[in-house]
Amino acid sequence: MLSAMRFLLIDILVCVLLVSQVTGDDKWESYKIQNGKSYKLIEEIVRSALFNRTDNLISRHNANFGAGKELYSMEHNHFSDLTTGEKQRYLGASISGNRELTPTTKVAVPANIPSFYDLRSATCMPPVKSQGSCGSCWAFAATTPVEYQHCIKKQLPAAISLSEQQITDCAYRSSDGCTVGGSFQFAWAYLVFTTGLQSNVSYPWANLANSQRCKATTNGAAGEARVSTYSSLVQDETQMLYALLNYGPISVTFYASTNLYYYAGGVFIDPTCPNQIINHAVSLVGYGTTNSTGTPVNYWIVRNSWGSRWAYGGYFYLQRDVNMCNIASSPAYPNAS
């Protein structure tokens, strides 16, 4: 009995000491305020430990960035105190069995190939969105090129924000589009056989960790976009560039379980990335070249679905022409109107 009490008192003392260290950490307290986070006693200890581990990682990396040993910098954001499993919920791409849905396409060489191309500020580029902790990146990567093409072809003054919730709820009727994940090819295949993709006004994003029962209408409505066909590209970054110039944003998959979570700026390069695995879907909206280190480095401008507060307003730069993190694994684009 006395032994058990002794251990209990030791545990309480340890908790008190840890809490005193946590509450005295100005960086941790500032982080919570900036990100709107608040925790009870035990979770506070766990979250602060995760934050401190991330803080050490960021500090070491940025020291190397300052010394010219890295091409990108890192910063704290809403991922800094999450576990590995929690961060995985912000991914969700899968291409298993879906590349066979359409033939591989080779794109014609555009008449003009500029050295720099950027659609971020284009009239038909909608604002960056956030998928939250629903593994529906594939739905967001599917809607971006549809929104852009719909706006261009209908000659709209601005893009209509289309419903990722409809795709997440309805494309996979027999499974959860959040926890199981999916592919933008399958999303487009679903849209080919429906009356169209509803707007976010008529079918809003619910910001839930699980998908819902499909509530899509069957008779269509004004402002809906439609997909007639879609094409999977050859796994070649030059062809991906041609497709971007010819058709607008293209959707891609890559491996994102890296330091990308804490990316702040620069060209993301990770030589340890696997070249056969993918788990995240995004859209390419531009490209360029930097000479910041004296050696030219080509990069993609990538639109993510982690919110506009992340990185460059929701965008990041990824090294181009080296299949960085398997970015050339499954490029594709729809034919939308």
| Count of C-beta atoms within a 10 Å radius of residue 35 | 15
Whether 210 sits among the annotated catalytic residues: the reply is no
Q: Which of 137, 170, 273, 325 is catalytic?
A: 137
Whether 76 sits among the annotated catalytic residues: the reply is no
Q: Which of 178, 280, 325, 326 is catalytic?
A: 280
Which active-site residues does the annotation give?
Answer: 137, 280, 304
